[in-house]
Amino acid sequence: MQKTLFLIVTLSAAAFATFVSPAQGLNFFAERYEGYPIDFLAQKALGGPTGKGEWFGSTDACTLGNGGSIKLGFSDEKRVFNGAGPDFIVFENPFQILDTEPPYDPLGLYFAELMFVEVSTDGEVFARFPMLTTNTEPIHADETDGLDAAQYSGFAGIHPVYANVDSNSIDPFDPAVAGGDAFDLSDLSDHPNVTSGLVDLNDIRWVRLVDITGDGSVLDSEGNPIFDAYQYEGDPIAINGADVDALSVINGLEGAVIPEPATTISFIISLPLFAALTGFFRFRNMFFQK
């Protein structure tokens, strides 16, 4: 006769561990600044974007001046972390140029003033995003000359801004619709200041935006001269540099520290549970034979 022993074993959730990458974080805007001399202008870079769309640039922005910069930060407990996809968006105020003759067709070129984008944990040591341009010709900010966005990557100030927190419902945290230029902290994984531990990509508290003097005297990551709308044709007076509208955080955190994301999902049975199950099966085999 076959004897059967029924044993009910209750396994707690703690017996199994599941590791997953952290979900998309909190959304917020830059809340404070450093390194800019005029407060009422710097305030224009805080809060949400006020974009005017494809054909106009917002005037509610902070002008950096040629070669100028500003550091944008958050409240003490907030930071950006290296999450899934882009982690934050920088909004400047570029716009597309139209032909000056009827029917005023778009020229596919932009009036754009470019910026370097840098991030920091402590506000002192920064890592600059890599950038590249394939344009080799000077750009004059006249009515028909502009920047071809396809020739530039890794800069802020390339794309128009569509989100406007005052006048439309476009999500300023969605890079697919908001406009502006999105940045993924993963692109800095090999930066020396990151690999040395001086900049923690899961604890970014400051973003520094640096105007590029677009006359070709400043170089990209590959050593190519950078040209943007530096001055008007025939006018020796240069334009006053990039204009910062806003910075929106896609992958933000407040309070706790983000753990290192796991790349796989694992189920682990604890050693005490394994020992208990092993003992049970040995007991069954010894005393409940046919």
What is the reported pLDDT for 257?
Answer: 58
Q: CA 19, CA 265: separation in Å to the nearest integer? A: 5
Pick out the chain residues at pLDDT < 50. 1-23, 259, 262-278, 280-281, 283-290
Note the pLDDT tens digit of each residue in 239-274.
Answer: 679 999 999 999 999 986 554 554 433 333 344 444
Buried/exposed 30-43: b ≥16 CB within 10 Å, e otherwise: beebeebeeeebbe
What is the reported pLDDT for 121?
Answer: 98
The answer to whether residues 237 and 66 touch, using CB atoms and an 8 Å cutoff, is no
- Alpha carbons within 13 A on the beta-carbon side of 206: 20
Q: What share of the chain is helix, strand, coil (3-state, %, to 5)?
A: 15, 30, 60
pTM for this model (two decimals): 0.80
The answer to whether residues 163 and 172 touch, using CB atoms and an 8 Å cutoff, is yes
What is the reported pLDDT for 198?
Answer: 99
Q: What is the dihedral of CA 115, 119, 124, 127, to 10 degrees?
A: -90
What is the reported pLDDT for 230?
Answer: 77
Using CA atoms, how far residue 255 sits from 37, 75, 82, in Å, is: 30, 11, 15
Q: Position of tokens 């809060």?
A: 47
Q: Position of tokens 């000077």?
A: 138
What is the reported pLDDT for 237?
Answer: 57
DSSP letters, 121-148, are: SSSSSEEEPP-EE---S-EE-SSS--B-
Cα–Cα–Cα angle for 200, 225, 159, nearest 5°? 65
What is the reported pLDDT for 279?
Answer: 54
Note the pLDDT tens digit of each residue in 78-110.
Answer: 999 999 999 999 999 999 999 888 888 888 999
